[in-house]
Amino acid sequence: MARPSPALLLTILAIAAALISPAPLSAAGSGWQTYANPRFGTHADYLAAIFTRRAPPPENGDGQTFTDKDGTAKLSIYGAFNSLDNTPRSYVDEFIRPDGGIAYERITKNAFAVSGKRGETIWYQRCNFAGGEPGTIHCFLLEYPAQQKQRWDPIVARIAKSLHGRR
């Protein structure tokens, strides 16, 4: 049987270390890919070395959901038509606030970012209302274990910064 190359062994060890290491996950460096939704033009970076599983895409083609290998973290990247002409504020008030549990909220003219905790899970959602095709909203929702918050903060920041519509 042929021996794997040293480069392949180093790659495997780096991925394994990232998956099991208690150190913070790095938002800089390799392992990032960009998801691009063909229907709405929504784009966002995701850490493919962590989000190794893709759920079957929805029939309407609005986005993609990824999970980590043990299912404790979930990332959905999607687009939608703004058929109700929502503003970021009205969207939060109508669709997110009723579920409760918002601990952080930032709403601007063109976007919102909200997060909170449900049980032992932190959730973070961001939607951009500007950029790309008129009348579309570009979003992501990330859920992860609360005890890993410090590890996920740089991941959230990278995904949020990368989120945009078709340019």
29-65 pLDDT per residue, tens: 579 999 999 999 999 999 999 999 999 989 999 999 9
Q: Are 106 and 113 contacting, i.e. CB atoms less than 8 angstroms apart?
A: yes
The structure's pTM equals 0.81
Using only the alpha carbons of the chain, give its radius of gyration: 17
SS3 42: coil
Domain 6-162, what fold?
A: Protein Transport Mog1p; Chain A (3.40.1000)
What residue spans define the domains of the chain? Answer: 6-162
Question: 26 near 17, Cβ under 8 Å?
Answer: no
Find tokens 């790309």 and name the residue.
132
Give the per-residue pLDDT at 29.
54
Q: How many CB atoms lie within 10 A of CB 73?
A: 22
